[in-house]
C-alpha cells in the first residue's frame, strides 16, 4: 500500500495498477494478484491506508466545534498530500476499517450534545458536504495549471476578450468590479465557511 500510495502521489491515480505496483516492488504481477484480485480492491486498500492519517489521538477535544475543526483541517491536509483522494469521491470504493473509525470519531464529537441519532447524522452530513465540496474545488484549482501546462496569467489572457465584452456590455454589474479590482481577502475561505456551517448547527442546537 505504501508503494501504491507513493505512485499515486507522484503520477496520479491513473498510473496505479496491480502490475505497475508489482514492477515498483520488483515482484511478479501474479504474486500480487494472489493477494489483490482487482484494481477496485487495490483502490479500497489505498483509501484505507491514507484514512489512518486523519484519525485523531483520543480523547477528542471536549468542545464539539474544536473537534470538528480538527477533523476538517486534517482532512484538508490529507487531500493536499494525496490529491488523487478526490478522484475516489466519484467511484464506488469500499470503506475500510480506518475509514469507519474516522466516521466513528466524527460522530463522537457530538456525544455531549444530547441529540438523537438522526440529528447527529444530519449534522455530520452537512459537515461532510461542505468539506467534500471545498476540497474538490481546491484540488481541481491546484491541479489544473499543472495538468494543462499554463499559468493563471495565460488563462486570463485567453479569456480576457470574452470577459471584457460582457463587462463592457453591462451584463455583469455585480461581478464586474470583482473581475476588475479583485476581492481582497477572498483567497482562502476555508475556515470562514466552516465557521458558518458550525454556526448554523449551533443555532439549531439553541432552538
Residue pLDDT, tens place only, 37-53: 899 999 999 999 999 99
pLDDT of residue 151: 58
Residue 152 pLDDT exceeds 80? no
Backbone φ and ψ for 161, nearest 5 degrees, come out as -55, -45
Locate cell 475516489: which residue? 88
| Average of per-residue pLDDT across 85-99 | 91
Residue with the larger pLDDT of the pair 159 and 193 = 193
Q: How far is CA 205 from the centre of its chain?
A: 27
Q: What's the mean per-residue pLDDT of the chain?
A: 89
Q: Grid coordinates standing for 186? A: 477572498
Q: How many whole angstroms separate alpha carbon 183 and alpha carbon 133? A: 21
Domains in the chain (CATH in brackets) are 54-206 (1.10.357.10)
pLDDT of residue 44: 95
pLDDT of residue 197: 96
| Average of per-residue pLDDT across 178-205 | 87
Among 114-123, 133-142, 179-188, name the most confident range: 114-123
Q: Are 27 and 103 a contacting pair, CB within 8 Å?
A: no
Amino acid at each position: 500500500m505504501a508503494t501504491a500510495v507513493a505512485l499515486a502521489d507522484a503520477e496520479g491515480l491513473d498510473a496505479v495498477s496491480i502490475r505497475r505496483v508489482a514492477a515498483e516492488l520488483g515482484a511478479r504481477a501474479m504474486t500480487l494478484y494472489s493477494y489483490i484480485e482487482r484494481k477496485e480492491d487495490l483502490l479500497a486498500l489505498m483509501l484505507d491506508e491514507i484514512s489512518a492519517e486523519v484519525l485523531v489521538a483520543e480523547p477528542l477535544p471536549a468542545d464539539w466545534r474544536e473537534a470538528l475543526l480538527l477533523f476538517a483541517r486534517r482532512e484538508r491536509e490529507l487531500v493536499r498530500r494525496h490529491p488523487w483522494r478526490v478522484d475516489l469521491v466519484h467511484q464506488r470504493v469500499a470503506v475500510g476499517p480506518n475509514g469507519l473509525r474516522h466516521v466513528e470519531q466524527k460522530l463522537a464529537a457530538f456525544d455531549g450534545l444530547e441529540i438523537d441519532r438522526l440529528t447527529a447524522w444530519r449534522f455530520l452530513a452537512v459537515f461532510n458536504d461542505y468539506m467534500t465540496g471545498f476540497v474538490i474545488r481546491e484540488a481541481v484549482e491546484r491541479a489544473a495549471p499543472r495538468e494543462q501546462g499554463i499559468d493563471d496569467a495565460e488563462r486570463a489572457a485567453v479569456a480576457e476578450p470574452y470577459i471584457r465584452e460582457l463587462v463592457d456590455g453591462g451584463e455583469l454589474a455585480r461581478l464586474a468590479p470583482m473581475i476588475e479590482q479583485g476581492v481582497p481577502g477572498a483567497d482562502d475561505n476555508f475556515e470562514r465557511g466552516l465557521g458558518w456551517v458550525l454556526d448554523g448547527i449551533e443555532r439549531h442546537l439553541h432552538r
